[in-house]
Chains A and B, each alone.
Chain A
Amino acid sequence: MSQKTIKSAISRRQLLGGAAATVGGMAAAPLAGAAESNPANLPPNVSEWTPYLGAGVDANPYGMPSEHESHVIRRTVEWLTASAESSVNFTPLQDLDGIVTPNGLCFERHHGGVPEVVPADYRLMINGLVDRELLFSIDDLKRFPQVNRFHFLECAANGGMEWRGAQLNGCQYTFGMVHNVQYSGVRLSDICREAGVKPSAKWVLAEGGDSAGMNRSIPIEKILDDCMIAYSMNGEALRPEQGYPARLVVPGWEGNMWVKWIRRLEFGDAPYMAREETSKYTDLMEDGKARMFTWVMDAKSVVTSPCPEKPMISKGQNLLKGLAWSGRGKIARVDVSLDGGLNWQTAELHGPILNKSLTRFTMPFKWNGEELKVQSRAIDETGYVQPTIEALQKERGVNSIYHNNSIATWLVKSNGEVENVRLG
């Protein structure tokens, strides 16, 4: 298997070069397919997998993707961080359809590695300004009334490398710190009622049981509005790297607040000013002052094909695909430009269009080999318009690292290659 994988990876790499040389002269022939096809498997011949029995049931008790999809993986940028235990990898958005991120492809960000929590020894502690300080086992949590909701989770530093210019040449590296799954779990408002929150409680400190003891302050208004403790994602138990056995879900707000392996919620009358809301996750402006408590993830969108990892392989009919999301509500509209923002057309949104969830858009188009500057612009139900990088730089300078939700540009060259570029 591994040999085959390596071979297909190599031919894919060669393909990019090959495409560069030949796409210009092609009509609508599928170059990628032509390059890798074995005529013996094509009609009128009987394909090699047809005559014989395939693998039986239980060959894979937990099913995995086809080996031909082995390039669809999370990837990291090693030079970004000093250690793999406090690091990040990225979701391969360019390889996905629809709005659900498969569990194994959800990007990871840890500050002290992935703890191996034993579910029987897991406890969630509730303490502070409550009538009753409580401990819940995972079985206790599963006996509460259940909610099931799709939400995107985006790191506030998604796109953070791109404040000063186009740096990383990939959709995965520039937009991949986002994922979208269906969570099953408990409303925090139910847990609050169980503990009896005192009127003086205004803030909640959420704390993880990992080696970073990740802790963030959250206003009680948000806790009671739509936060939940999730124990499942996409129908199965949370993956260890996503907080097994339980994590906090803070819909629409920056991913760092969604404390994984959550062990404690403390109710207090003031914010705690943890390291992750002072030293980090504050947005440094040009004048040297920093914005604090910038929790909401503003509306954003990205074209996931074509993109640097998904070159154009044929002239003629093509499909542009992308994702849009907003921490303020539902996506109302996505516009696409193929000429660097001079002219826009509205893309088709595909349901379900959910609150604080990724939303899929597509736009069929014809390509005759000319250079394109592809952009997308999301507008949410509050009327918020995804801004240009110039507009954000004008307000915030280039030092803020976090909350870059600006419009990106993919340059499609006439040879089909696609590159991340900055216009201005």
Chain B
Amino acid sequence: MYGLDKIKKGARTGVGFAVLTGFAVAVSGMALASERPFGLGTLATAEQVAGWDIDVRPDGKGAPIGSGTAAQGEAVYAERCAACHGDFGEGVDRWPILAGGHGSLATIDPVKTVGSYWPYASTVYDYVYRAMPFGEAQSLTHDETYQVVAYILYMNDVIDEEFVLSNKTIGSVKMPNRNGFSLPDPRPDGQPKGEPCMTNCKVSTKIIGRARIIDVTPDSQ
């Protein structure tokens, strides 16, 4: 809908559109060239696309064929993940925490984890396969990824040990904080009523906090 309208408009206003189209036809002689305003780039093969198209959507679209259980994932996790994320997903030193934090989101110290915060299981698969282990991206097999994702979900009490996470089931896993997000963006917010005040404004100018006293600034100057 909105997309198409704009594309059509764009196509009509493109300077030299007709000229370039003709050029493309003349140069490449391809049947499709008449629809390609510039005739630039090459067609991607299905095999090329498959190698790079690694994303997985909440409904499971894009999930590669494969499966795994948390029971199987425990070993993968211990070997490839625990050094940074901790045996129980608690996070070693400052490496990210992966489990816990339930019921903390409305407190002064919210702990956002896969279990307490993430709305979709697909995101865990998508992220772990593309980016983890940190520094060894895209090195897990698809089955290993299902296994270790199942293990993270299991640590967060989302699924049990024997649940078979697969391309068929990943879209149906219900995450605890699935309804914890609001749309659309309600901003602009925090706006003054009427014109911004210019003189004798009613504001408190008392100092209630000082960065100097907190003293966490690196010594740089």
On A, residues with C-beta under 8 Å from B are: 12-13, 16, 71, 75-79, 81-83, 85-86, 111-112, 125-127, 131-137, 140, 143-145, 165-170, 172-173, 189-190, 192-194, 196-197, 199, 201-202, 205, 207, 211-213, 215, 220-221, 224-225, 263-264, 266, 268, 270, 272-275, 278-279, 282, 284-296, 298, 308-309, 335, 339-345, 373, 377, 379, 384-385, 387-388, 391-392, 394-396, 398-399, 403, 406, 411, 419-424
B57 touches A194 (CB 8 A): no
With the chains together, A417 CA to B147 CA distance in Å?
Answer: 57
Chain A residues with Cβ below 8 Å from B11 are: 193
Residue of A with least CB distance to B3 = A220
Tell me whether A284 and B110 are in contact in the complex, defined as CB-CB below 8 angstroms, given that A377-B196, A384-B191 are known contacts: yes
A190 touches B37 (CB 8 A): yes
B55 touches A207 (CB 8 A): yes
Chain A residues with Cβ below 8 Å from B65 are: none
Instruction: Determine how close the nearest CB of chain B comes to the CB of A226; give it in whole angstroms.
Output: 11
Chain B residues with Cβ below 8 Å from A266 are: 53, 55
Chain A residues with Cβ below 8 Å from B106 are: 286-288
Number of A-B contacts (CB under 8 A): 301
B203 touches A340 (CB 8 A): yes
Residue of B with least CB distance to A209 = B52
Chain A residues with Cβ below 8 Å from B210 are: 166, 411, 419-422
Contact of A77 among B57, B112, B187, B218 (CB under 8 A): B218
Instruction: Determine how close the nearest CB of chain A comes to the CB of B58; give it in whole angstroms.
Output: 5
Tell me whether A270 and B211 are in contact in the complex, defined as CB-CB below 8 angstroms, given that A211-B135, A399-B110 are known contacts: no
Contact of A136 among B4, B41, B204 (CB under 8 A): B41
Contact of B216 among A111, A133, A167, A274 (CB under 8 A): A167
Residue of B with least CB distance to A127 = B49
Chain A residues with Cβ below 8 Å from B185 are: 291, 293-296
B154 interfacial by beta-carbon distance below 8 Å: no
Instruction: Determine how close the nearest CB of chain B comes to the CB of A267; give it in whole angstroms.
Output: 9
Contact of B3 among A77, A197, A295, A344 (CB under 8 A): A197
B198 touches A213 (CB 8 A): no
